[in-house]
Structure 1
């Protein structure tokens, strides 16, 4: 193999200070020039460095980018010759393979055998191409004054003899360091990361406001154009590809102008004023309506011809919405909800059981839950989540019920309940081998109550539900998730599903005018004065006839109260089972919220199973609970976990009745979504302490239960008051839902005639 030879070093000015990171004369692998038997070695001018750079005779390192900029090609007889070589090395351009192509970028090697991995490695040159000058001739030469400095690196008008600014020097150092390669024996001493460009000027407020005004005018014009284009196609039976593309173009342009407008609101100097303007002119809702939803409905009405165009548009808007989540976080809740809607639209374009449809449904669900974390009182989010549930009737009804009693009620959920009732009724009336489950009876009973239908049918369905629930709990049915699905709808029924005529619903809404502290103080003062007052017979004293229907709000409140607390009584009959804890925890929170609104508690206190609640509280573990937290009026925050919430909290937050329970910012750092579906040791301990705390709070009212401390052992236990015993004795729910005489629940939960005992 032919021995590798290097190209000659570039001329360099006399050294002044320390050498730059790439300013050495020779590569470490080059042998001394005087040892080579080279003929016709002519002197070459020495190298010239720009100011503030120099070369030394120490260990060789890579040349700086500043020095590389000096190597400007020169021409001799039409052939391009690197500036670092003398004109004596020029080759006749008429000879074959003569000359060298000009340099096109900094530090680019014009050689035949160039290797990108090691640009300074020795390479083979034909002897007639270049002639290498020796080291002594290089030291004797001075920089040529007629060389021109390339304008790529230095500013206009700068001369080699002048000085450069600190910013320019830093830029040169970074550029030279960026030329480093992995094969260097000495890596460059500077990082190869280029710093972010400095912004010297911040847009003035007036300029931003004027730009925003122009964008607003453009948005208004494009909105009008989109409306006109949509009106043009109404009479057309089928659209051409050009018409579809034209519609998509206008709607995308509208969304892009909105994006530009929202970006202007992020500057600190004007974000407050612009944000107020955006809210005043309702810009985000306008973008969602005119730019997205209206057009999607047009495309949806023209399926399947519009399917491909709809996929294209949805994907484009989906990507832009994800950008807006980061660039315009002030409207994050709206962007997250829109992302859930877009994923749902995309899901609707796929076949029923396809993998793509399942994937899009999961995406939509995740976006809706993320939006709920931002605004957990918005009922429409839970309505959309209920629509996405496919094969879980209990969960679907839970989400619809939650939507109806949220602080921002969604009226559409009533139609969702009707659709769930159709499925439940089909299961009940079917003659198949599989008997109806708990959800079918439960949903059917609630739908009759919501409709104002037959009272007798409501009682019959409720009896079937309670009998089957008792049987399933005895068979170790896990109520961790199902407990939430049963508890929230029962509470929603007592609030009459958020309807304006609801008795308890209006009482809770009136109490929202007070702060949490004022509400607690008023409630404690009331119960201190009326702790022994006789109960009011607010619920219906007489059970209606079998042919009657729910006609008044009082009737609906009475029978919903019977169902809710009969269900609680059924569950509390199994205190030895840990799986009932989530359900009981939710109801204890609800009972405490009733105590904070005395007028509401007086309406229903007679039906609450106080004796079973007392028994349940005494069965809890008090040894690992903090006495200080239990005795405090402040909401207990368990200090042994990173997150303050437990899965139950996410099922009842944002509802009309739960506003006075949790402290402010309790959900500011929420439990991760993937950890809300199962219990841990810490969540169980937290729930245990929470239930005890609700017991302590109810005992502080001194009306229904009392707390006693054993002087010898120090143990504390809960006991009923005489008034609570009287309340339970007059409760009507045991008589309303008492099983039919001579009937027992079958394995499926249906009531069947009692079997005759065989004679022995």
Structure 2
């Protein structure tokens, strides 16, 4: 600081730095031990009162009793916080740091400090509404403190905050605005958690519930929850809350017909209900899709539709994560030590492996959808779908058992024509011929595409992205799924790079590095795609040489 002396001369006086005290390992251990004793005592009191009130279902506590019980639980959360901070303190040794995980303390905190009282309050609604709102607000603030100060378990705190948001959403049936706010809050935290732990299927199940009434998003999240390394088994039952109303002849009248047709096709595959309607449903969807692609003008809707449809179809080909899936058995390592590139033998299906009914139907839907999309050469609306499918095929190309299931009917000729159409405006051929993943040269940090975030965590992307591809923490959560103009060129380049990688095998696609043209191995040189109607294979889709015409997106203000 500066001060003026006699004569107007300024002088500087240094402020002494505040003294800091170091904490020894012994002191930390003592704090953790003492805190744990205090924690057990506070936890016992909370459990005793909650259990007593739970057994007296007709007893309605008054406001004073509720407030006392809320204070007890907030005290327990405060003690838990002290325990976590002390055990994760910078000087703490590894033994101390492991204590919370070893004894599942985060789960214990949630169960006895928050969840038990929330459930008690929920079962006393509507009388307990005001106190339940108060407790949700208080615990949300406390969990954000945990999130800021105990980063070692931030993915757990994110999920807790998402769960609290769902409770807040569930009690606000009479206040639509408050319900929407809580839904947004819950979705935000689940998305953050899934970004941190992308292989955890439980988080996508929660997001599927929050996606209502968006049928396409619900299907994408439910199927993804079943096709990640840690699938969420409860999704197998709850996904029927999406399918049942649509499979009901009187259902889904309020929704977009193309979304209904698509979800219905998956519903029939998944449930085996109405199997006689599957073929007609697929044909109906494919006919609608052609017009839908041309009419979609909003970039976010276009990109979201593309990757949701593609990912859902790929999950269908995996029989929605069922163990008897031919493809899944081929690409999933049997043991952790076998999860290397050297174990390609795992991809060889045994002679007894036969596709099940779900996989056969999923293949028909996959081929029909791809046939419609790939016929629209030069249409940027189709690129998000094509990108996802190329990533899927690229992964399967390493496993002969998986590829043998789809290689005979996949529209390789249409893919080659799409790739050649993209090459018309592309000049950096060395980039797609290089083995290295094509990064954006002018970007200081990785900028993933929206469908990159959508695919993150799925079983078939583990070898696609560079290890640091999702490391850019300067991208806001709200921006991750936004489409910007420059992404179209990045997407085209990525698709071309994938085409070159697949062509390297010499089994399905070919690529001439001199003429820079893609072709098809003779055995797969066909443009006929199952699932497309005769009209779609006719003059409206093909020119006089039998090749697809280059599509020009129609202009429309109707963003369906």
TM-score past 0.5 threshold: yes
Q: State whether residues 703 and 723 of structure 1, in contact with CA within 8 Å, keep that contact through their aligned partners in structure 2.
A: no
Q: Secondary structure at the match of 1:718?
A: strand
Alpha-carbon distance between aligned partners in 2 of 1:231 and 1:634, rounded to the nearest angstrom: 59
Task: Identify which of 29, 50, 57 aligns with 1:209.
Answer: 29
Aligned to 1:251: 73
Q: State whether residues 382 and 402 of structure 1, in contact with CA within 8 Å, keep that contact through their aligned partners in structure 2.
A: yes
User: Judging changes above 3 Å, is the alpha-carbon distance between structure 1 residues 644 and 341 closer, same or farther for their aligned structure 2 residues?
Assistant: same
Alpha-carbon distance between aligned partners in 2 of 1:460 and 1:250, rounded to the nearest angstrom: 60
Alpha-carbon distance between aligned partners in 1 of 2:255 and 2:183, rounded to the nearest angstrom: 29
Cα deviation, residue 208, structure 1: 0.8
Gaps of 5+ in 2: 541-560
- Work out whether 1:672 is the aligned partner of 2:476: yes
Cα deviation, residue 22, structure 1: 6.1
Cα deviation, residue 739, structure 1: 8.5
Task: Identify which of 281, 285, 290 aligns with 1:465.
Answer: 285
- Work out whether 1:407 is the aligned partner of 2:407: no
Q: Secondary structure at the match of 2:510?
A: strand
Aligned to 1:197: 18
**1:557-596 matched pairs, under 5 angstroms:** 557-596=359-398
Aligned to 1:385: 207
Q: Using CA pairs under 8 Å that are at least 6 residues apart, name the structure with larger relative contact order, 1 or 2.
A: 2
Alpha-carbon distance between aligned partners in 2 of 1:247 and 1:380, rounded to the nearest angstrom: 30
Q: What's the CA shift string for 1:637-674, capped at 9, x where partnerless?
A: 22222433111101111012222222223212254323
Q: State whether residues 204 and 221 of structure 2, in contact with CA within 8 Å, keep that contact through their aligned partners in structure 1.
A: yes
Q: What's the CA shift string for 1:150-189, capped at 9, x where partnerless?
A: xxxxxxxxxxxxxxxxxxxxxxxxxxxxxxxxxxxx8x85
**1:432-471 matched pairs, under 5 angstroms:** 437-471=257-291
Aligned to 2:516: 716
Aligned to 2:134: 312
Larger Rg: 1
Q: What's the CA shift string for 1:206-244, capped at 9, x where partnerless?
A: 111121012122222332322221121123321123332
- Work out whether 1:240 is the aligned partner of 2:62: yes
Alpha-carbon distance between aligned partners in 2 of 1:515 and 1:633, rounded to the nearest angstrom: 24
Q: State whether residues 378 and 418 of structure 2, in contact with CA within 8 Å, keep that contact through their aligned partners in structure 1.
A: no
Aligned to 2:43: 223
- Work out whether 1:502 is the aligned partner of 2:306: no
Higher helix proportion (structure 1 or 2) = 2
Cα deviation, residue 511, structure 1: 7.1
Alpha-carbon distance between aligned partners in 1 of 2:427 and 2:272, rounded to the nearest angstrom: 45
Q: Secondary structure at the match of 1:681?
A: coil
- Work out whether 1:492 is the aligned partner of 2:492: no
TM-score (norm 1): 0.65
Q: Secondary structure at the match of 1:706?
A: strand
User: Judging changes above 3 Å, is the alpha-carbon distance between structure 1 residues 356 and 734 closer, same or farther for their aligned structure 2 residues?
Assistant: closer
User: Judging changes above 3 Å, is the alpha-carbon distance between structure 1 residues 591 and 538 closer, same or farther for their aligned structure 2 residues?
Assistant: farther
Cα deviation, residue 629, structure 1: 3.2
Q: State whether residues 446 and 470 of structure 2, in contact with CA within 8 Å, keep that contact through their aligned partners in structure 1.
A: no
Cα deviation, residue 277, structure 1: 1.3
CA RMSD of aligned residues (A): 3.2
Q: Secondary structure at the match of 2:333?
A: helix
Q: What's the CA shift string for 1:101-147, capped at 9, x where partnerless?
A: xxxxxxxxxxxxxxxxxxxxxxxxxxxxxxxxxxxxxxxxxxxxxxx
TM-score (norm 2): 0.86
Alpha-carbon distance between aligned partners in 2 of 1:207 and 1:666, rounded to the nearest angstrom: 41
Aligned to 2:179: 357
Q: State whether residues 539 and 558 of structure 1, in contact with CA within 8 Å, keep that contact through their aligned partners in structure 2.
A: no
Cα deviation, residue 389, structure 1: 2.2
Q: State whether residues 463 and 739 of structure 1, in contact with CA within 8 Å, keep that contact through their aligned partners in structure 2.
A: no
Alpha-carbon distance between aligned partners in 2 of 1:512 and 1:485, rounded to the nearest angstrom: 30
- Work out whether 1:634 is the aligned partner of 2:436: yes
Aligned to 1:163: none
Alpha-carbon distance between aligned partners in 2 of 1:381 and 1:271, rounded to the nearest angstrom: 32
Q: How many residues align?
A: 530
Task: Identify which of 106, 113, 119 aligns with 1:284.
Answer: 106
Alpha-carbon distance between aligned partners in 2 of 1:303 and 1:622, rounded to the nearest angstrom: 64
Alpha-carbon distance between aligned partners in 2 of 1:190 and 1:724, rounded to the nearest angstrom: 83
Cα deviation, residue 250, structure 1: 2.2
Aligned to 1:322: 144
Cα deviation, residue 377, structure 1: 1.5
Cα deviation, residue 417, structure 1: 2.3
Q: What's the CA shift string for 1:679-727, capped at 9, x where partnerless?
A: 22332121111101111011100011111244xxxx310111112137x
**1:121-160 matched pairs, under 5 angstroms:** none
Cα deviation, residue 396, structure 1: 1.7
Q: What's the CA shift string for 1:387-435, capped at 9, x where partnerless?
A: 1223322112221122121222122323442222234346x64697x78
Aligned to 1:344: 166
Cα deviation, residue 23, structure 1: 6.0
Alpha-carbon distance between aligned partners in 2 of 1:514 and 1:685, rounded to the nearest angstrom: 38
User: Judging changes above 3 Å, is the alpha-carbon distance between structure 1 residues 247 and 260 closer, same or farther for their aligned structure 2 residues?
Assistant: same
